A and B are shown apart, each in its own frame.
Chain A
């Protein structure tokens, strides 16, 4: 820990949006050469604090000091010119531009007014080498995986002579190896004297890299602590504001026997279903009341399987039967008629309708199923929406707010509510807990258990093995766009076993049985 003066100080910061008080009198300071974790639940104000700092939003009250000067940035460009660079939660690159163009966009090196393309490519290559990333800098960004795009965004941020680097949930789409790579870079930058503000929901990562932790809750400052002096449990309590043992309670609940579930009638059965270029032929049976987990690495074909079950993509071979009757799932409308619901992992592009209100977003799927000629009566809408806002503790509890004003976790809950309102028989949840905080995560996990107890089938996808194992009765393992195993989730199955399966691609016989 350095005892020098802070490079960045924020004092008494307040910020309100129509209907929401996002920040109230928050103090924050950042020292050179430290990694400082900013922690809090969804809607605690983490993203708002960052956006206020970088000038995306104006400040209602409070003072920001960078070095010795008081600053009020008018936007991210000005902030990064002053040495405060940000990598946002959702990758903010132009997908159609090349890697090199993305890194230098807005600050291209010029000679006599003309852009020096050679120079751009050379410096981009240099930067990426520093990040251990060997890719073609002239290829469009969209041709690379989300993880690589994230690294490109970081490269863009550190190229500016940054004094403060803000990483807003940079790891939510990275796998373990990529996270390790990112941490190596972060340590390197920290040792160069850059102050790093790090936002994440992964507790292990915080304890792996952060020097100090600042905790926010409901837009107010809870406190600032050296990482070494704050045990994990204490941190979680400070974030939640109450003792949290929901996660433990899920463990304690006796899980119903898989055998009993398999004895019932299957709700949906697919055999040799496939889509060229997306996923190799696979067979899977989901029973009423059963939670089937899909495990596998990023890009292993988990989402592709889910999309076939919902008809979001068309399968080009294989058979489907629902309730024992042969049918097909050619489009979402058909899948919804069969009682299937689907929460996409990509909630911004495929989930919320940002302009519409929370209420409208919630009733959308039900309304679509009824057809436009039969509007849901307003009183019924209000009942349903109030019920789910309460049940899922959506904040702020204002059904008429545009959904874009809500935090990521609350948007996720709105999407969940959209499907729960339709009372589906099979709910497909693709990464429902990604990028949301531990409290909301526990609530969603608890909900999955409740729903399956009530007889709903759930197809649960998550990058976190522990979560998949905690909830599922059966785990299907994906590897390289192929379903390599289906494991009954009994005492013999643990994270190690699943990881071995992913690594080895073995136990083929269990798939075909």
Chain B
């Protein structure tokens, strides 16, 4: 019995318990409101249904949030990802729109390579501002957040570029093994980042730089180089997200593509349990955070909440999610419920026994 209780405690205190719980509650609430919410049907060899839509629509956010996780882990922040989404989407669409045959694979891949190259340069710009010149990350990336929209406008010459390219559209809407291709792209990126950081020592070194930059330097880590690297990774992730966003609508809009995605990404990272102060990062948590945010957006539409109150509704849920995750808040809550000034939760004495044993 104690065993079962201990296991229950272990599940409760797991980092990902609260994000998962919130996601389950959100899905359950939707199912109650609309019983068909979770149903998935096969149509034309592809799976369709709201859960699949949520996964597909959250793919760009997951990508942006992955890069953001690494940046935040070093104690920084990257506000320019939304603009980078717009720029990369605009460049790719521009190149395709000028081609004679928009369905040519070579054209599409050249477009992607060009856009990725520009994203690399933009990431390097951010990285240099932060790591070499030493500008505070929020200011350094604010420059590109603002200027980047202008660059996207220049690329599109203020127009919305529409394209008609099958291969490009597939990035956003294509299918692979019955599931949307975007899900696989996001999953692949997540596995790649996870492998790069956790199978090598990169993750620990990034966390070390975020935890104490000067101490890391004195331990022989090239701290500045690590900081530079994460901004480049973040920009590349944003660029791929930008492809998805523009492919979804087969057009590039310099003004609106990826608008405010940086805020959603930061939110996803925080919900996932990575501290904005830097240090430990949790990629799994970030992905869950992105899914929660997308589910919330879908919920707002599904429940026919009026656009005027939709943002407010979202904000309230987000505040609740953040509060319920904070151990300090939970402690305060349980203390108040018990009505005693000193908390004597049943878990505390048991922990002590384990220690003394």
Residues of A within 8 A of B (CB): 16, 18-21, 58-60, 72, 310, 312, 332-333, 336, 342, 344, 349-356, 360, 364-365, 367-376, 418
Are A333 and B220 closer than 8 Å at their CB atoms?
A: yes
Known: A21-B355, A356-B211. Contact between A365 and B219, CB under 8 A?
yes
| Contact-residue bracket for chain B | 20 to 34
Known: A364-B221, A375-B199. Contact between A16 and B355, CB under 8 A?
yes
Instruction: Give the complex CA separation of A349 and B211 in angstroms.
Output: 10
Instruction: Give the complex CA separation of A21 and B220 in angstroms.
Output: 34
Q: Which of B200, B216, B348, B355 contacts A353 (CB 8 A)?
A: B216
Contacts of A354 in B (CB 8 A): 211-212
Known: A21-B356, A72-B341. Contact between A367 and B218, CB under 8 A?
no
Known: A72-B342, A353-B212. Contact between A372 and B202, CB under 8 A?
yes
State which residues 117-133 of B face A: CB under 8 Å: none
Instruction: Give the complex CA separation of A375 and B204 in angstroms.
Output: 10
Any chain A CB within 8 A of the CB of B279?
yes
Instruction: Give the complex CA separation of A72 and B342 in angstroms.
Output: 9
Closest chain-A Cβ to B273's Cβ sits at a distance in Å of 13
Q: Could you list 27 A-B pairs, sorted by A, with CB under 8 Å?
A: A16-B352, A21-B356, A72-B342, A332-B217, A333-B220, A333-B222, A350-B212, A350-B218, A353-B208, A353-B216, A354-B211, A355-B207, A356-B207, A356-B211, A360-B207, A364-B204, A364-B208, A367-B201, A367-B204, A368-B205, A368-B220, A368-B221, A370-B201, A372-B201, A372-B205, A374-B200, A375-B201
Instruction: Give the complex CA separation of A352 and B212 in angstroms.
Output: 8
State which residues 203-232 of B face A: CB under 8 Å: 204-205, 207-208, 210-212, 214-222
Instruction: Give the complex CA separation of A72 and B335 in angstroms.
Output: 15
Are B219 and A368 closer than 8 Å at their CB atoms?
A: yes
Are B220 and A355 closer than 8 Å at their CB atoms?
A: no
Known: A60-B352, A360-B208. Contact between A353 and B201, CB under 8 A?
no
Are B342 and A59 closer than 8 Å at their CB atoms?
A: yes
Instruction: Give the complex CA separation of A368 and B225 in angstroms.
Output: 12
A59 nearest CB neighbor, chain B only: B342
Instruction: Give the complex CA separation of A72 and B343 in angstroms.
Output: 12
Are B355 and A19 closer than 8 Å at their CB atoms?
A: yes
Are B220 and A365 closer than 8 Å at their CB atoms?
A: yes
Are A310 and B219 closer than 8 Å at their CB atoms?
A: no
Are B351 and A18 closer than 8 Å at their CB atoms?
A: yes
Q: Which of A368, A371, A418 has the most CB of B within 10 A?
A: A368
Are B201 and A21 closer than 8 Å at their CB atoms?
A: no
Known: A353-B211, A367-B204. Contact between A58 and B342, CB under 8 A?
yes
Are B207 and A364 closer than 8 Å at their CB atoms?
A: no
Instruction: Give the complex CA separation of A364 and B208 in angstroms.
Output: 8
Instruction: Give the complex CA separation of A364 and B348 in angstroms.
Output: 33
